[in-house]
Chains A and B, each alone.
Chain A
Amino acid sequence: MTMDKKISLPVITPDGRPPEAQPKWRHDFPIDVPEADYVARRDFTKFMVLTSFAFVIGQFWIGLKRAFRRESAGTSAQRIASVAAVPVGGAVSFSFPKPNDACLLMRTGTDDFVAYSAKCTHLSCAVLPDVKNNALRCPCHNGLFDLATGRPLAGPPSRPLPRIRIEVRKGEIFATAVEERMT
């Protein structure tokens, strides 16, 4: 086996100098740089198109979630507590419409009740009622919501808490629907 075997170097070299001026190691590992760059860009484009397809899958996943949510949207009224069981300035936690959907009912006045989902709209931490200060607080990232409207006042949350519609019937408080809101 001879070591002085002639290897033809591609015309285009990384530094633009002629092949004769290139170091010996470059003769041992000849790379056609423009060709290598072209292949890298082509493969990168392929990867980007694959990512594009992943985004389409994500969009359709949201669409399917919407379809399934609509199917299970038919919720009936659910008793939360009796009016006497919730003192003015007090709060009661309950689940609505599903057992894992934590909510909060708060009594802000003698005849005034408000109820919201207890999941922070930032990262779903449990919010804590602060009725005295007319606020709901998320301890995870110091999110602050207005008690009267459920809208975000401070911190990272950008969307209001989903409002739970409530009805008072013969001294009993019922949750009737969930109202999702953008603003």
Chain B
Amino acid sequence: MNRDSNREQLSTVIYGILCIVLILLVLQLWLLSATMNAYLGGDESIVWPAAWASVACFLLNAGLLWQVFRLES
């Protein structure tokens, strides 16, 4: 029974992590499309700040994935 409740808790945590990863992913998708639109419109000032923001999102995602594997072990 204890094993089951631990599994349920783990499932909840994984669900939470998955939700955050998805939100960050949608943010990255928006960043990419907005940057491309701005770039094609001649506004190049946003290109590198958006790239670094995307890197930050990726690092957060990678950290969350690491948490998933840490929970497993």
Contact = CB atoms under 8 A, between A and B. Distances in A.
Decide whether A and B are members of one complex: yes
Interface of A: 11-12, 34-35, 37-38, 41-42, 44-46, 48-49, 51-53, 55-56, 58-60, 62-63, 65-66, 121, 158-159, 162, 179-183
Contacts of B31: 55, 59
Contacts of A41: 11, 14-15, 18
Contacts of B10: 38
Contacts of B25: 48, 51-52, 55
Contacts of A159: 37, 40-41
Contact of B32 (A49, A59, A121): A59
Interface residues of B, number: 43
Contact of A60 (B21, B51, B65): B51
A55 B41 contact: no
Contacts, number: 105
Overall SS of chain B's interface? helix
Interface of B: 3-4, 7-8, 10-11, 14-15, 17-18, 21-22, 24-25, 28-29, 31-32, 35-44, 47-48, 50-51, 54-55, 57-58, 61-62, 64-65, 68-69, 72
A51 B26 CA distance: 11
B40 to A, nearest CB: 7
A49 B61 contact: yes
